[in-house]
Amino acid sequence: MLKKLNRLLNIITGAFVGVFIGHGLYVFWDFKAHPDLYAMQSAPWYTSILLYGAATAAILLAALVVKLIIRQKAKRS
């Protein structure tokens, strides 16, 4: 059971990191292709990347905490 949960956490971690990298690359590409659209905004062009980064960091931190708990329980068994 703990191995399955650990594997699921690894998949979730990898998926969120992949989405973050993909989103960052897309926003950068879109900024380079259409800089005038981003010049009209009051926020910098990389604001959405920062928001995705913060959300990804929070999810990774939660997954890390759960993985540490799993590791502690596996050592006791």
Q: Which residues of 31-61 are buried (b: 16+ CB within 10 A; e: fewer)?
A: beeeeeebeeeeeebeeebeebeeebeebbe
Q: Which two tokens stand for residue 3?
A: 């191995």
Q: What pLDDT, on a 0 to 100 scale, did the predictor assign at position 74?
A: 85
Q: Quick: pLDDT tens for 12-71.
A: 999 999 999 999 999 999 999 999 999 999 999 999 999 999 999 999 999 999 999 999
Supply the pTM of this predicted model: 0.85
HSE, side-chain direction, 13 A CA sphere, residue 9: 19
Find out whether 26 and 45 touch, Cβ atoms under 8 Å. Answer: no
Give the start-to-end residue ranges of the domains of the chain.
2-76
Give the N- to C-terminal CA distance of the chain in Å, as an integer.
12
For residue 67, give the 3-state DSSP assignment.
helix
